[in-house]
Every structure is written in C-alpha cells, then in structure tokens.
A and B are shown apart, each in its own frame.
Chain A
Amino acid sequence: MNQSQFRGTYRPYVSPRDPCPPILEKTFVLPPQLFTNFQKPGLPQNSPEEALKQGSLWPQFVDGFYREEGIS
C-alpha cells in the first residue's frame, strides 16, 4: 500500500539551542476522506476478505498507519 499520498510533511523551525536532537522533518496524516467531498458510485471494490482485513470495501479510502512510519 502506498501511504505517501496520504501524508504531508513540514520542516519545523530548529534552534541551535534545542535540548533534544531535532527532528528536521515532521510528517502528518492527510486521510483520504479529506479529498473526497462526496463518494462517487461504482468505485473499485475489495474482495469481501480483503475488505474485512482493510476495514473498507473501497481501497481508495484506506491509507494505513504503521508505527514504522515514525509519525509520532
């Protein structure tokens, strides 16, 4: 799954006096529903098994979230 299209990034201000090692780039979630004002009919659907696994009948609205992304 390609999550990157549902993520945004920004580079916060970094001070030379930051006490902790600064994170130069922060990532945040832009979930798919933000880009769909009204769902169109006839979107591609998951198989029932895949829908149960993903939590959505429509793959278009699945963006996933993994600890490994390091968002927090």
Chain B
Amino acid sequence: MWVYEKKLLYPVEVTTCNPMLAKYLMEQYGGADGELAAALRYMNQRYTVPDKVIGVLTDISTEEFSHLEMLATMIYKLTKDATPEQLEKAGLGAHFVNHGHSLFYENAGGVPFTATYIQSKGDPIADLYEDIAAEEKARATYQWLIDISDDPGVSDALRFLRERENIHSLRFRESVEILKEERDRKKIF
C-alpha cells in the first residue's frame, strides 16, 4: 500500500515553451531505460529476492514512480499550450494525431513502451546486476538529456534525477555485497 503526497519529489520549473525538449524527455518517461521500466522492474523482482534486499527494491521502485511523476510534469508543461503546428515542428505531429495533448508511455522515437524492456530472471545475482546496469544506463541517458536541454529549469531537475541514479546503483551494489555475506552461512552456524 502506498501513501500519496500531493507534491513532487523535487520542484520542476519549466521556463520555455519547448515541445522538442518534451519529445526528448519521453526517452526517460516510456523508454527502455526510463523511469517506468525501472519502477516496474524493481516492483516485480522484489517478490523473489532474498528477504534482506526486498526493502531496497520496494523503496527504489517507489522512488522511481516519483521520478516518473516529475518527468510527466516536465513533458506536460512543455507541451500543454503548444499548437498542433508547434507540435508538428517539434516532431510530435504523429503523437498529437494519436494522443492529442495527452502524455503516453513511449520513447523519444515514438516507440510505445513494452514489457520486454524489463527482465526478471528469478536469480538474485542476475536480477541485481540487471538493476545496476539499468541505473547506469539511466544515468547516461540523463547526461545526454542535460547536454541537449536548453531550459535551465529542466536541466536542474535532470541533474537531480541523474544523481539519484548514482545512489540507486550504489544501493544495488551494496545489496550484492549483503548477499555475498550469506555465502557458506550453513557452515558458520
């Protein structure tokens, strides 16, 4: 069960009308290494990992949903008042025809989200290493988004999100170390 707080994890300020930037941000909204994929991946894997690391996966998944909400806010603000002509110029013509001004889970190239973006192998080490890789890929995606963004408010939020990926990666690495301590436990006791 979750308790919802009606505020964002980190304030999102958007200073320009820039539907093109919104299109790029969709990579982290509905892309393979995006926040939706991350949240769903961890929330699903959490059931079949050893007890000691269930909490890490649940907590990080929850935080990823709060990141998803920040991305949604940015994309919404960047596109809400754009005319169909402006959207078309930004490469969002096909998006507008299908979805109007609403958001949709698709990547920057317009490819819709698919469950094949995530994995669940049922082997704790395989799953945690996938999670570490996912965090590093999300960090890299944020770097390229920061490089391409010309909106200082959006860039500020993206830098915050990028730093969170670093911490998540560390937490998953620590989870691997915790499991390594379980090695040969039967013999010790």
In the complex, whether B124 has a CB less than 8 A from a CB of chain A is yes
Contact B51 A10 (CB under 8 A): yes
Check A8–B182 contact: CB distance below 8 A.
Answer: yes
Residues of B within 8 A of A34 (CB): 125, 176, 180
Interface residue from B50, B51, B176, B184 paired with A4 (Cβ < 8 Å) = B184
Secondary structure type dominating chain A contacts: mixed
Interface code A24-43, partner B: CB below 8 Å = 1, 0 otherwise? 00101111001100000000
How many A-B contacts at CB < 8 Å in the complex? 46
Are the C-beta atoms of A4 and B179 separated by less than 8 Å? no
- B122's nearest neighbour on chain A, judged by CB, is A72
Q: Which of B124, B184, B186, B187 contacts A28 (CB 8 A)?
A: B124
Q: Tell me whether A4 and B180 are in contact (CB under 8 A).
A: no
Binding site for B on A (CB under 8 A): 4-13, 26, 28-31, 34-35
The list of the 9 closest CB pairs from A to B, nearest first, reads A8-B182, A10-B50, A5-B184, A28-B124, A30-B183, A10-B51, A8-B179, A8-B183, A9-B185
